[in-house]
Amino acid sequence: MIALPASVDATGDLLSGGDYVADRSLATVLYLSLALGRPLFLEGEAGVGKTEIAKVLSTTLGRRLIRLQCYEGLDVNAAVYEWNYAAQMIAIRVAEATGDRDRDMITSDIFSPHYLIKRPLLDALEPDLAGPPVLLIDELDRTDEPFEAYLLEVLSDWQVTIPEVGTIRAEKPPIVIITSNRTREIHDALKRRCFYHWIDYPTAARELDILHVKAPDVAADLSRQVVAFVQRLRDMDLFKLPGVAETIDWANALAALDATALDTATVDSTLGVLLKYQDDLARVQGSEAARILDELRSQPA
């Protein structure tokens, strides 16, 4: 079993080992979360690297990654457990055909763990030889409030209660990363159970470091131009600002086209990699893209 990092610096090194470029504040809150066994609640705009942290932890620590992708209408059956009804029906038919058990015995048998299908939350409470898994509860803000309330028992006591079976408790709590794009506020009761960190868009210097790691084949000068252009877009009043993931995609797309520098025609023809709404594209393409490029060229290197 790979041990958890013993310091903030070691946590930063752990993330770097998974090609994740983190600032010290993120490394600090992650270290505390791991050291004290508390869930880490990450908020920020889409595409800033929240989900990636769970993936990197899973890889660098050698733990299973269990992902619960949240959506509106998510219920206990999809998140915790459900009964294998087909197998239960077969067991009932066999028992009735043989006639060797009464109704109470049949009922007891078919509601045993043997017929239980484990979903992500229950699976994350199971012991694992490689160590407690990394449980990613992704985009919690997409769920309904009743499910959010259900999580309180899991995150407080590391247990779930199944009426027919009883309470199942984790021997060792999983490493929990919760993400939210802040489309709605998450209740304070859940936040109290977590350490909180807001992941903002990176500075130009950090975004350049990220490109260096994530898009190593892109020429250094082109990477600088890409980052400068994207940073300028984030100052605009666009419907959806480009995230780090879009920056990486754009840089790789430009490299795939053998582009060596940004010009208006190249930006216009590839802007769909960066922006995802027609209104945003219409606003930036053409004269606005040319204006931004002129401004960037006029700045000292």
* pLDDT number for residue 110: 83
* Residue 254: alpha-carbon gap to chain centroid: 27
* pLDDT number for residue 112: 85
Distances (CA, A) of 142 to 71, 73, 187: 5, 9, 13
* pLDDT number for residue 259: 94
Rounded to a whole number of angstroms, the CA Rg of the chain reads: 24
Size (the chain), residues: 301
Strands of the 134-138 sheet, one edge to the other:
65-69, 134-138, 175-180, 40-43, 195-198
* pLDDT number for residue 142: 94
Give the H/E segment covering residue 162: strand 159-162
* pLDDT number for residue 100: 66
Tell me the C-alpha distance between 135 and 237, whole Å.
35
* pLDDT number for residue 101: 67
| pLDDT (tens place) for every residue of the chain, 301 residues total | 789 999 999 999 999 999 999 999 999 999 999 999 999 999 999 889 999 999 999 999 999 999 999 999 998 889 999 999 999 888 888 877 877 667 777 777 788 888 999 999 999 999 999 999 999 999 999 999 889 988 988 998 999 988 888 899 999 999 999 999 999 999 999 999 999 999 999 999 999 999 999 999 999 999 999 999 999 999 999 999 999 999 999 999 999 999 999 999 999 999 999 999 999 999 999 999 999 999 998 876 6
Residues linked to residue 83 through DSSP beta bridges, in sequence order: 116
Phi and psi dihedrals of 176, rounded to 5?
-110, 125
* pLDDT number for residue 301: 63
